[in-house]
Amino acid sequence: MAGTARRILVVGAGITGLTTAHRLATDSQAGNAPDIEVTVLEASDRVGGTLRTGPLDDPVLDGLGVDAGADAFLRRVPWALDLCDELGLGDELVSPTARRASLWLDDALRPMPNPNVLGIPLDPDAVDAGLLGPDPDGSTRARLAGDGRPDRELPDGDASVGAVVRACVGDRPFERLVDPLLGGVNAGRADDLSCAVMAPQLLAAARSEDGLLGALRRAGTAGDPTAPVFAAPAGGMGRLGEALVDRLAGAGVTVATGNPVTQLERDGNAWLAHVDRAGGSTPFRAEAVVLAVPAHVAADLVAPHAPEAGRSLAGWRHASVVLTTFAYDRADLVVDPDQSGFLVGRTEGLLMTACSFAGSKWAHLDHPDRVLLRVSCGRIDDHRPAELDDEGLVAELRADLATTLGVEAPPTAVRVGRYDRSLVQFPVGHFDRLAAIDKALADGAPGLVLAGAIRHGVGIPACVRSGNEAAALAAARVAGLPC
């Protein structure tokens, strides 16, 4: 096949783009895909996108790497775990030591019910009295003791998480437990989020003969409750990006940072990618282009060729979040070593949405002299973090930490990580909307493949899955082209 290599361009070097390139290179080398040449163009000066591990400015921590973005991935689904094994990272994976979490509700930290599925308690007798709020006639608890059959008809097809959970267990467990937990995953409102994307197991359970709670309890007894739920490389999630880049270098794939793709132009059967680089640049020609960028970036690139897809993508909402890492002297702050952290509901009036006790969660971050906290803020309907400068934001978060953990002393180090429009929201009917975009792209812009969190969800495994699928689609596209 020498001399007939097809070019595939991947735009964006986050986990989705790097996985796509890795899969293409591996399949091509194994002879499972056509002879292809893969290039990754990344706008920023670094790879990994949201995956970012680095030290805090605190000499006592001696360069200890702490995740500034994602810090773990779900291991109950295969995609990220399989990728780590493939990259030789399997032995480096660790799981959180502390697994219990709390909720800040009505001015107190209250333990999450155990067991629970996405906040839904499976054993009402094991629910902290304060978690459900006043329940004078016991009706909330009585409902949780039942099988959770919906008290109204659920719509056909997709429904919001709120519609499903409210119908099956009532408003209070939804508002006080499920919304803080599930809304925390993508900074959304669970009343607006697609159950088919965010919690397909809840949708299936709610429609089953056993009822929501009956089906979840049955599934719970089938699984191992002690099996670890999350995993991460001990060196931090940035290791995943590094390992992928090493593999790509070995496979002859170019990953070029500082190359923002600003425009795609049709050129016969191929595409020309225009890059905004100081001093100008020659457009990059490729037979297929994988767009592994946030949906709002993809919207601008596809709009001239598939206007309907461009409009739809531009309308997809994204939440902006800020993840701030604090280091405290151990003399100033004590956290429960058995707790991984706590979530904060939207009704509590705080800026923070979650606080993770990094040293209790990860053995390698359990420092003898420092307590490390990762504090999140920002929701789809809370824009306060974007309106505050870093100083104002840190002051507000410190006030929240004083309220929740009682720490008044100044931190020894602070790092603010802003992630603007980073978390895509999944409206009810998401998959239908996505199918319409794919069709518009296939009709108006053949060879452009949309990848990333928009496909299956924001979690790392979902992005890896999307990267795998995008590679297969791009390879199939170039295989079908005449030489």
Ligand X SMILES: Cc1cc2nc3c(=O)[nH]c(=O)nc-3n(C[C@H](O)[C@H](O)[C@H](O)COP(=O)(O)OP(=O)(O)OC[C@H]3O[C@@H](n4cnc5c(N)ncnc54)[C@H](O)[C@@H]3O)c2cc1C
Binding site for ligand X (CB under 6 A): 11-17, 41-44, 49-51, 69-73, 260-261, 292-294, 297, 321, 323, 419, 422-423, 452-453, 458-460, 463
Nearer to ligand X, 207 or 285 (CB): 285
Q: How far is the CB of 10 from ligand X (least distance, A)?
A: 9
Nearer to ligand X, 35 or 438 (CB): 438
Nearer to ligand X, 24 or 460 (CB): 460
Q: How far apart are CA 378 and CA 393, in angstroms?
A: 11
- How many angstroms from the chain centroid is the CA of residue 239? 17
- How many angstroms from the chain centroid is the CA of residue 321? 12
Dig out the tokens for 300 from the structure: 């601008």
Nearer to ligand X, 170 or 378 (CB): 378
Nearer to ligand X, 185 or 442 (CB): 185
Dig out the tokens for 38 from the structure: 């893969």
Q: How far is the CB of 73 from ligand X (least distance, A)?
A: 5
Q: Do the Cβ atoms of 38 and 319 come closer than 8 Å?
A: no
The edge-to-edge listing of strands for the beta sheet with 36-41 is: 254-256, 36-41, 6-11, 288-291, 448-450
Q: How far is the CB of 74 from ligand X (least distance, A)?
A: 6
Nearer to ligand X, 121 or 241 (CB): 241
Nearer to ligand X, 70 or 478 (CB): 70
Q: How far is the CB of 467 from ligand X (least distance, A)?
A: 8
Dig out the tokens for 23 from the structure: 């899969």
Nearer to ligand X, 96 or 162 (CB): 96
Q: How far is CA 247 from CA 218, 239, 279, in A?
A: 42, 12, 31
Q: How far is the CB of 290 from ligand X (least distance, A)?
A: 11
Q: How far is the CB of 91 from ligand X (least distance, A)?
A: 21
Q: How far apart are CA 466 and CA 483, in angstroms?
A: 28
Q: Annotate 399-423 with b (16+ C-beta within 10 A) or e (fewer).
A: ebbeebbebeeebbbbbbbebebbb
Q: How far is the CB of 153 from ligand X (least distance, A)?
A: 34
Q: How far is the CB of 356 from ligand X (least distance, A)?
A: 9
User: Is 125 buried (19+), middle (13-18) or exposed (0-12) by CB count in 10 A?
Assistant: exposed
Q: Do the Cβ atoms of 453 and 213 come closer than 8 Å?
A: no
User: Is 473 buried (19+), middle (13-18) or exposed (0-12) by CB count in 10 A?
Assistant: middle
Q: How far is the CB of 208 from ligand X (least distance, A)?
A: 27
Name the residue among 182, 90, 91 with its Cα closest to residue 458.
182
- How many angstroms from the chain centroid is the CA of residue 473? 23
Q: How far is the CB of 261 from ligand X (least distance, A)?
A: 4
Q: How far is the CB of 152 from ligand X (least distance, A)?
A: 33
Q: How far is the CB of 172 from ligand X (least distance, A)?
A: 28
Nearer to ligand X, 271 or 419 (CB): 419
Nearer to ligand X, 84 or 458 (CB): 458
